[in-house]
Structure 1
Amino acid sequence: MFVNHSIIADIKAIISQSKDNAIRTVDHQRTLMYWHIGKRIFEEEQQGKDRAGYGTYLIKYLSEQLQPEFGSGFSPRQLERYRQFYRTFPIASTLWTQLSWSHYKLLLSLGTEDQRKFYIAETINNNWTVRQLERQINSNLFERLLLSNDKESVLAIARKEKLPSDAKEIIKDPMLLEFLGLKMEASYYEKDLEGKIITHLQDFLLELGNGFSFVARQKRLHIEGDEFFVDLVFYNRLLQCFVIMEIKTHKLTHQDIGQLQMYVNYYDRVEKLMHENPTIGILMCANKNDSMVKFSLPEGQKQIIASQYKLYLPSEQQLLEEVNKELHNFPGNDH
């Protein structure tokens, strides 16, 4: 008797999906439990607000009573975190089932509501794992996007309230490539960097941002008998265009810009379909002169972008220096 073999695959998929749903349900219930514990602690603390140090005493007392029976999840530090969880997300119905408790722990470490809104939206839209969310927070994704865009635009794109109208709204500068595992003091050929990117393609696509898919590596172009090779070709479904990337391990030159411009022109005239938008070219370089880039290109053009890459995550001191520099550059800041 003939049996359709697809039934096995279908049943396996049902079992796998059910297991995933069960895990998510259990984790969400755990998250709700922590929220309710935090709410109860906060309410009790408010009743004793006239007594100095009552909150600290309460947390310590609760831990002593609960930890012997329920374990390290009820240490003073964890109980304080549950309280902070309730204070940060005071409405239980607004908690997202797509986020695990481990996601929320990372979100609690963020300093502003705007940061939390952005990373929540990006995590849900892109189905980020906890590791991916942690990496994006550590690489200052939100701050890097804000360097070239206004806050409301960044948040609106993350929440899918608007589509990006300019490549600079989603292309980061700098790009952080610490996941490639390359030592920053060593010198590299462009083919070495390209090879590492292909090996870590999933992580690279995550760093590139929303809507990117890989198309080709060392794409051969035939132009009047001459052959040229484009390092990397991607497609972005949000921008609805090809994105060509050239890797330069030296300081950017105007010849590099001219070469990329030729590739962009070729894709616009040969590969692009009528309904698609103009091709974007990204020069990923070790170093660049922004003024040289500016004067090498027509004024107001939006198709060529130079983005510097870094092979390591910035230190805490470097982050503070960058933030202070940005604050100093704000209009009206004379300090």
Structure 2
Amino acid sequence: MLINQSFVTDIKSIISDSRENAIRAVDHQRTLMYWHIGKRIFEEEQAGKGRADYGTYLIKYLSEKIQPEFGSGFSIRQLERYRQFYRTFPIASALRTQLSWTQYKLLLSVDNEDERAFYIAETIKNNWTSRQLERQVYSNLYERLLISNDKESVLAVAKKEKLPSDAKEIIKDPILLEFLGMKREAAYYEKDLESAIITHLQDFLLELGNGFSFVARQKRIHIEGDEFYVDLVFYNRLLQCFVIIEIKTQKLTHQDIGQLQMYVNYYDRIEKLPRENATIGILLCANKNDAVVKFTLPEGQKQIIASQYKLYLPTEKQLLDEVNKELVSFEEKDIN
């Protein structure tokens, strides 16, 4: 007797979805439990706030009473975290079922309210795992996007309040490639970096940002008998355009910009469909001179972007220094 194989597939899907929903529901109940514990601790603490060190004594006393019965999840450190959780997210109905307790714990380390809102929106929109959220927080994704954008645009795109109208709203500078595992102080050819990106394509797509899908590697194009090879080709469904990436392991030159411009022109005139938007070109380079980029390209153009890559995570201070540098630059432009 023949059985339709889609029947078995459907049953497996029902089981998997039900298990996932059950796990998510249990985790959300745990999250709510921690929130209510944090709320009750805070209320009791406020009742005795006139007494010195009452809060510290209260948590220590509570831990001694309940940890022997309920386990290490109610240590002094954990109870302090539950109190912080309530104070950071004071409205229970605003807690998102899509976020796990592990993800909320990560978000407690983010002090800025706008930054937290950004990571919450991005986690839900992209269905990030806890590990992916951790990587984005520790690589300072929010600050990197702010380097070339204003805060309102970054938050609006993350919350789906607007679609990106400019590639710079979703493309970062710098792009962090620490997941490639390249050794420090070693010289790399462009093909080495390209091969490493392909090997870690899923991580690279996560780093590129929203809406990217891989199209081709070393895409061959013919121009009047001459052959050229484009390093990497992607498509972005939010921008509705091709995105070409050229890798340069040396300092960026005006010839590199001209080469990428030729590839972008080719895709616009040959590959792009009428309904699609203009092709974006990204020069992924080890080092760049922004002035060279500025004077090589026409004023106001939005198709060519030079983004520096870093093989190791910079410190938060280094990224904040870059943000402040950009803010000073914008202020000087406004004055002029």
Q: TM-score band (shorter)?
A: over 0.9
Quick one: distance in 1 between partners of 2:299 and 2:330? 24
Quick one: distance in 1 between partners of 2:49 and 2:327? 37
Alignment length, in residue pairs?
332
Matched, 1:123 2:126: no
Q: Which residue of 2 aligns with 1:72?
A: 72
8 A contact 2:144–2:319 mirrored in 1? no
Superposition pairs of residues 140-179 of structure 1, within 5 angstroms: 140-179=140-179
CA pair 34-197 structure 1, distance change in 2 beyond 3 A: same
Quick one: distance in 2 between partners of 1:41 and 1:7? 51
CA pair 76-147 structure 1, distance change in 2 beyond 3 A: same
8 A contact 2:154–2:169 mirrored in 1? yes
Superposition pairs of residues 78-227 of structure 1, within 5 angstroms: 78-227=78-227
TM-score normalised according to structure 1 size? 0.96
Q: CA deviation at 1:5?
A: 1.8
Q: CA deviation at 1:2?
A: 2.6
SS in 2 for 1:128: coil
AA aligned to 1:157 is V
Q: CA deviation at 1:28?
A: 0.5
Q: Which residue of 1 aligns with 2:261?
A: 261
Quick one: distance in 1 between partners of 2:227 and 2:325? 45
CA pair 265-162 structure 1, distance change in 2 beyond 3 A: same
Q: CA deviation at 1:139?
A: 0.7
Quick one: distance in 2 between partners of 1:303 and 1:323? 23
Matched, 1:278 2:275: no
Q: Which residue of 2 aligns with 1:26?
A: 26
Q: CA deviation at 1:163?
A: 0.7
Which ranges in structure 1 are unaligned for 5 or more consecutive residues? none
Q: Which residue of 2 aligns with 1:291?
A: 291
Quick one: distance in 1 between partners of 2:244 and 2:108? 37
Quick one: distance in 2 between partners of 1:147 and 1:322? 7
SS in 2 for 1:233: strand
Quick one: distance in 2 between partners of 1:277 and 1:324? 32
CA pair 327-166 structure 1, distance change in 2 beyond 3 A: closer
SS in 2 for 1:235: strand
TM-score normalised according to structure 2 size? 0.96
AA aligned to 2:214 is F
SS in 1 for 2:255: helix
CA pair 323-65 structure 1, distance change in 2 beyond 3 A: farther
Q: CA deviation at 1:101?
A: 0.2
AA aligned to 1:159 is K
Quick one: distance in 2 between partners of 1:323 and 1:259? 29
Q: CA deviation at 1:8?
A: 1.0
Quick one: distance in 2 between partners of 1:323 and 1:238? 25
Q: Which residue of 1 aligns with 2:249?
A: 249
AA aligned to 1:19 is R
8 A contact 2:220–2:230 mirrored in 1? yes
SS in 1 for 2:110: coil
AA aligned to 1:92 is A
Q: CA deviation at 1:184?
A: 3.0
Superposition pairs of residues 312-331 of structure 1, within 5 angstroms: 312-315=312-315, 318-319=318-319, 321-322=321-322, 331=331
AA aligned to 2:156 is A
Quick one: distance in 2 between partners of 1:208 and 1:308? 13
Q: Which residue of 2 aligns with 1:43?
A: 43
Q: Which residue of 1 aligns with 2:60?
A: 60
Quick one: distance in 2 between partners of 1:41 and 1:214? 50
CA displacement 1:280-310 (0-9 Å, x = unmatched): 0000000000000000001111000000000
CA displacement 1:228-279 (0-9 Å, x = unmatched): 0000000001111000000000000111001000000000000000011000
Q: CA deviation at 1:315?
A: 3.1
Quick one: distance in 2 between partners of 1:221 and 1:208? 24
Q: CA deviation at 1:6?
A: 1.5
8 A contact 2:222–2:228 mirrored in 1? yes
Quick one: distance in 1 between partners of 2:60 and 2:329? 45
Q: CA deviation at 1:49?
A: 1.2
Quick one: distance in 2 between partners of 1:263 and 1:73? 57
Q: CA deviation at 1:325?
A: 5.0
Q: CA deviation at 1:42?
A: 0.6
Quick one: distance in 2 between partners of 1:176 and 1:203? 10
CA pair 320-174 structure 1, distance change in 2 beyond 3 A: closer
AA aligned to 1:195 is S
Taking only the aligned residue pairs, the percentage that are identical comes to 82
Q: CA deviation at 1:124?
A: 0.1
CA pair 325-67 structure 1, distance change in 2 beyond 3 A: farther
CA pair 322-282 structure 1, distance change in 2 beyond 3 A: closer
